[in-house]
Amino acid sequence: MAGIVECVPNVSEGRRADAIDRMAAAIGGVQGVRLLDRTSDVDHNRSVFTFAGPPEAVESAAHALVDAAAREIDMRAHRGEHPRLGAVDVVPFVPLAGTSMEDCVGIAHRFGRAVAERHGLPVYFYARAASRPERVRLPDIRKPQYEGLQELMATTHAPDAGPPRVHPTLGALVTGARPPLIAFNIELDTTDVKLAKRIAKEIRESSGGLPAVQALGFGLTDPPRAQVSMNLLDASVTSLARVWREVEERARAAGVGLLRGELIGLMPLDAALQVADDALRLGGLPRDRIIEAHFIE
Amino acid sequence: MAGIVECVPNVSEGRRADAIDRMAAAIGGVQGVRLLDRTSDVDHNRSVFTFAGPPEAVESAAHALVDAAAREIDMRAHRGEHPRLGAVDVVPFVPLAGTSMEDCVGIAHRFGRAVAERHGLPVYFYARAASRPERVRLPDIRKPQYEGLQELMATTHAPDAGPPRVHPTLGALVTGARPPLIAFNIELDTTDVKLAKRIAKEIRESSGGLPAVQALGFGLTDPPRAQVSMNLLDASVTSLARVWREVEERARAAGVGLLRGELIGLMPLDAALQVADDALRLGGLPRDRIIEAHFIE
C-alpha cells in the first residue's frame, strides 16, 4: 500500500523519562517511520507520541510500542488524573496523503486483533472503526477506567477482540481510525476575553456552531490579548479557511481585527492546500497539482 | 543528495509524434523520475517536457533525453517559428523541496560539461548558472539562432564548455538553473479588457511593477471576461498571495471584483504553503510543519 498513515498513541506513563525514551526508541526503530512529536504530562502521568510513515511500517511501529509498553508499564501501580483503560490506552490511525479512512479502519481492526492475540488483552474499536454507536466516542468507552472495567466485561464492555479479562499489567487497549486533528488558534486584536469566549461558543459544534469544531476563548498574558483556541476534528467538513472567516466576521462585527493565526504542531498537506485553494479561488487544488506531492513515498 | 529537482527541457521537434514519444520514453525510463507534463507545438516545431525526481535521477534522465534527441533530430532540416540554437535547445534545472539553487547550478555545470564531452557539442550556461552577465537571459544567448551561431563562436558566443564548433545535427545546448515558474491567471468580474491590460502593465516588472512578474491582459470569449495572465518567475520574491492582492486592489479601485484564479500546470509545494501562511497570518509555514513533507523521497 502506498501513501502515508499517521498514528498518535497515548500511553499511561508520563513521569519516568527513561521508560518514555525506550518506548519512543521502539517506535523510531522501525524502518520508514518518523517520530514527529512526543509530549509527556506529569500530572496526567501520560505521554502522546506522533509518528507517521507507510502503512505497513506504522502498523509495525504500533506493535513495537505495545511490546515496549508491556515491559515498562504496570497498570496496577498507575496513578494519574487523565481517564485511561490501559498501558497503551488509545491507538488512533489517521489517513494522510495517498491513504483513505477505509485503509485506516482496516489497519486498526487488524492491529487490534493481532494485539489481542499476542498479549491476551481486551481490545475495543472506536471512532470510524467502531463496531457499534456507543463505541464511537472515546470518553464513553473509557468511563469505567482500568479499575472498574472488569465488572462491565460481560455487559456493556464486552471486548471487540481478545478475552473478556482485563490484563493485569496492560489493562485494555482502544484502537480506531479518525481524520487528522488540527490545533489552531487565532489571536484577536483586543484584550476582551469575553469576546473570544463568545465567538468560541458561537462557532463550536457543541453549542450548535460549525461541525467538527471544538473552540474555547482564552486570555493570553504576555502581551495581554484575547485568543480563540480551536481543534478542527475534520478539515474536510470545516476547513481552516472557514473558521478563519467565521471568527473574522464575528470579531469585525465587534469592531475588532484578527492579529494572527497559530498552528500547534503539524498539519496535513490537504489542509494547507485547502487554504491556498480558498485564498486564490482556484475551485480545487488537488495534491497532484503540487509537484513534490508526486514524490511522497 | 536528498530532495527533488525539476527539469524542463525544450527540444526542437514538435511535429513527429513518434519521435517525441521516443524522447518522452527516454526520460520516463529512468528509475525515480516522473514525467509530469509534455506539450508540443506544431508551428514552433518544439516540445517541452516537465519531469522531476531525485537529483541524480533527473540528471541521468536529461542525459537520456540528449542521447534520444541525437537519434531523432537533425538541425540542418529544422524549421519553426521559435528561436533555437539546437536539438535539445535549453535544459533548466529547478530546485524544489529539499534542494537548493546551488545544488541546481552544480547539476547544470556538471551536466553541461558531460554533454559537451560526450557529444562534442558547444554548451552555454544561463540564468543562475551563467558564467557572465550577458549570458543570464536566454534570448540574448539564442539571438544568432542555429544558422548564425558558427560565425560568432570566436567572439560573443565562445562556449562555456565543448568545442567552438556548432554540431551539425545537434547544434548547441543551453543549460542552467532557475527558480520554479508559476503560470497563474486571474479572471476579473468584467468584460473590460482595457482594465485587465492596465492592471497587467502596472504589476509587471518590465514596466516598473512587481519584481519577477510577467503579466498580460486578455479577453476571454466563453464566457466573455477580462483576464490578467501572469508568470511568476520567482515566488520567493513576489508570491501568489502578493499578486492576488495587487490585482484585487487595482480592480476594486475600478469597482470590479475578482472572480477566480487559475493555475496552469503544477506548482511547487513552497508556493502553496506561502499562500496558506499568508491567508492564516501564521508568520511562516515551513515545509517541516506539513506532516507528509517529511516523506518526500
Q: Quick one: pLDDT band at residue B2, thresholds 50, 70, 90?
A: confident
B-chain CB neighbours of A266 within 8 Å are 288-291
Report CB contact under 8 Å: B282, A292: no
Q: Is A274 helix (H, G, I), strand (E, B) or coil?
A: helix
Establish if B112 touches chain A: CB-CB under 8 angstroms.
no
SS3 A284: coil
Question: Which phi and psi angles does A151 have, rounded to 5°?
Answer: -75, -10
Q: Residue B276: its chain A contacts at CB < 8 A?
A: 240, 272-273, 275-276, 279
- How many contacts, defined by CB atoms under 8 Å, are there between A and B? 133
Cβ-defined contact of B290 to A268 (cutoff 8 Å): yes
- Closest-CA distance, A159 to chain B, in angstroms, reads 33
Give the domain-ending residue among A129, A162, A177: A177
Chain A residues whose beta carbon lies within 8 Å of the beta carbon of residue B288: 266
Of B260, B266, B294, the CB nearest to A290: B266
Paired with B125 in beta bridges are: B175
Q: Quick check: B289 and A267 CB within 8 A?
A: yes
**Which cell goes with A170?**
496492560
Q: What is the DSSP string of chain B?
A: --S-EEE--EES--S-HHHHHHHHHHHHTSTT-EEEEEEEETTTTEEEEEEEESHHHHHHHHHHHHHHHHHH--GGG---SS--SBSEEEEEEEE-TT--HHHHHHHHHHHHHHHHHHHT--EEEEETT-SSGGGSSHHHHHTTHHHHHGGGTTTTT--SBS-SS-BTTTB-EEEEE-PPPEEEEEEESS--HHHHHHHHHHHSGGGTSSTTEEEEEEEEETTEEEEEEEEES-TTTS-HHHHHHHHHHHHHHTT--EEEEEEES-B-HHHHHHHHHHHHT-S---GGGBGGGGGB-
CATH number at residue B200: 3.30.70.670
Whole-number pLDDT of residue A13: 97
Question: Length of chain A, please?
Answer: 297
pLDDT at residue B1 tops 80: no
Q: Above 80 in pLDDT, residue B293?
A: yes
A268 contacts chain B (CB < 8 A):
yes
Residue B283 contacts A, CB cutoff 8 Å? yes
Interface test mutation site (partner A, options B280, B296, B297, max chain A beta carbons within 10 A): B280
Quick one: cell of A188? Answer: 484577536
Cell of A3: 501513501
Q: Using CA atoms, how far apart are residues B198 and B192, in angstroms rounded to an integer?
A: 10
Length of chain B: 297
Are A171 and A190 in the same domain?
no
pLDDT for the residue A63: 98
Provide the pLDDT for residue B166.
97
Tell me the pLDDT tens digit for each residue of A45-83: 999 999 999 999 999 999 999 999 999 999 999 998 889
Mean pLDDT confidence for B216-236: 93
Cβ contacts of A294 on chain B, cutoff 8 Å: 34, 36, 52
Mean pLDDT of A167-192: 97
B81 and B25, same structural domain? yes
pLDDT in tens, A236-294: 999 999 999 999 999 999 999 999 999 998 999 999 999 999 999 999 999 999 999 99
Closest to B186 (Cα-Cα) out of B139, B242, B145:
B242
One domain, residues B108 and B193: no
Whether residue A228 sits in one domain with residue A109 = no
Domain-ending residue, one of A122, A151, A177: A177
A8: pLDDT strictly greater than 80: yes
What SS3 class is residue A7? strand
Active site positions of B, annotated: 82
Question: B97 and chain A: CB distance < 8 Å anywhere?
Answer: yes
User: Which residues of chain B are within 8 Å of residue A97 when distances are taken between CB atoms?
Assistant: 292
Q: What is the residue type of B24?
A: A
Q: B5-9, B77-81, B153-157, B177-181: which range is least confident on average?
A: B77-81
Q: A44, A63, A78, A82: which one is catalytic?
A: A82
Give the Cα separation of B47 and B87 in Å (integer): 11
Residue A258 Cα, gap to closest chain B Cα (Å): 9
Give the mean model confidence (pLDDT) for residues A83-107. 96
Percent of chain B with pLDDT over 70: 100
Cis amide linkage into residue B139, ω under 30° from 0: no
Determine what percent of chain A is predicted with pLDDT higher than 90.
95
Contact B297 A293 (CB under 8 A): no
> What is the per-residue pLDDT across A94-104, written as a single tens digit (0 to 9) for each?
999 999 999 99
Contact A6, A266 (CB under 8 A): no
Distance from CA of A82 to the nearest CA of B (A): 27
Q: Are B168 and B213 within one domain? A: no
Asked if A290 and B269 come within 8 Å (Cβ–Cβ), the reply is yes
Same domain, B248 and B215: yes
Q: How far is residue A269's CA from residue A253's CA, in Å, rounded to a whole number?
A: 32
**B interface mutation test: which of A93, A295, A296 has the most B CBs within 10 A?**
A295
Among the candidates A151, A177, A203, a domain finishes at A177
Are A292 and B241 inside 8 Å of each other by CB?
A: no
CA distances from A16 to A44, A47, A279, A295 (A): 13, 10, 46, 39
CA distance A53 to A34: 6
- Triad A69, A70, A72: Cα angle to 5°: 60
Complex ipTM: 0.90
Q: A55: distance to nearest CA of chain B, Å?
A: 13
Nearest chain A Cα distance for residue B251, angstroms: 15
Please state, as a whole number, how many other Cβ atoms lie within 10 Å of the Cβ of residue A270.
22
Tally of structural domains, chain A: 2
Inter-chain touch A281–B267, beta carbons under 8 Å: no
Does the CB of B291 have a partner CB in chain A at under 8 Å? yes
How close is the nearest chain A Cα to the Cα of B3, in Å?
9
> Is there a single domain that holds both residue A70 and residue A134?
yes
B184, B279, B296: residue with CB nearest A275: B279
What's the mean pLDDT in B12-28? 97
Q: Which residue has the cell 479577453?
A: B219
Q: Which H or E run includes A261?
A: strand A258-264
Nearest of A213, A204, A266 to residue A235 by alpha carbon? A213
| Distance (Å, whole) CA A50 – CA A62 | 11
Which pLDDT score is estimated for A193? 96
**pLDDT tens column, A208-245:** 999 999 999 999 988 899 999 999 999 999 999 999 99
Looking at the fold, whether A172 and A189 belong to one and the same domain comes out as no
CATH number of the domain where residue A33 is located: 3.30.990.10
pLDDT for the residue B183: 93
What pLDDT band is residue B222 in, cutting at 50, 70 and 90? Answer: confident
Give me the mean pLDDT over the A25-31 stretch: 97
A30 in Cβ contact with A16 (< 8 Å) = no
Residues B19 and B143 in one domain: yes
Distance CA A167, CA A116 (A): 10
Record: contact A285-B263, CB cut-off 8 A:
yes
Q: Is B28 on the interface with A (CB under 8 A)?
A: no
Give B177's pLDDT tier (boundaries 50, 70, 90).
Answer: very high
Which residue(s) pair with A123 in the sheet?
A161, A173
Using the predicted structure, report yes or no on whether residue B261 has a pLDDT greater than 60. yes
In the stretch 40-69 of chain B, residues with CB closer than 8 A to chain A read 52-53
Q: What is the DSSP string of B55-66?
A: HHHHHHHHHHHH
Q: What is the pLDDT of residue A81?
A: 84
- Give me the residue from B53, B273, B296 closest to A272, CB to CB: B273
User: Which of 212-231 (A) contact B at CB < 8 A?
Assistant: none
Residue B167 shares a structural domain with residue B27: yes
Instruction: Check if A82 is active-site.
Output: yes
Return the pLDDT at B296. Answer: 87
Which grid cell sits at B110? 556538471
- The position carrying cell 565562445 is B158
- Please give the pLDDT value at position B226: 96
Task: Judge if B110 and B238 occupy the same domain.
Answer: no
pTM of the prediction? 0.90
pLDDT band at B26 (very low <50, low <70, confident <90, very high): very high
Q: Which domain holds residue A66?
A: 5-177
Tell me which residue of B256, B117, B115, B275 sits closest to B182, measured CA to CA: B275
Enter the C-alpha cell of residue A33.
Answer: 517511520
Q: Which pLDDT score is estimated for B80?
A: 86
Chain B residues near residue A183 by CB distance under 8 angstroms: none
User: Do B90 and B53 share a structural domain?
Assistant: yes
Distance of CA A193 to the CA centre of its chain: 27
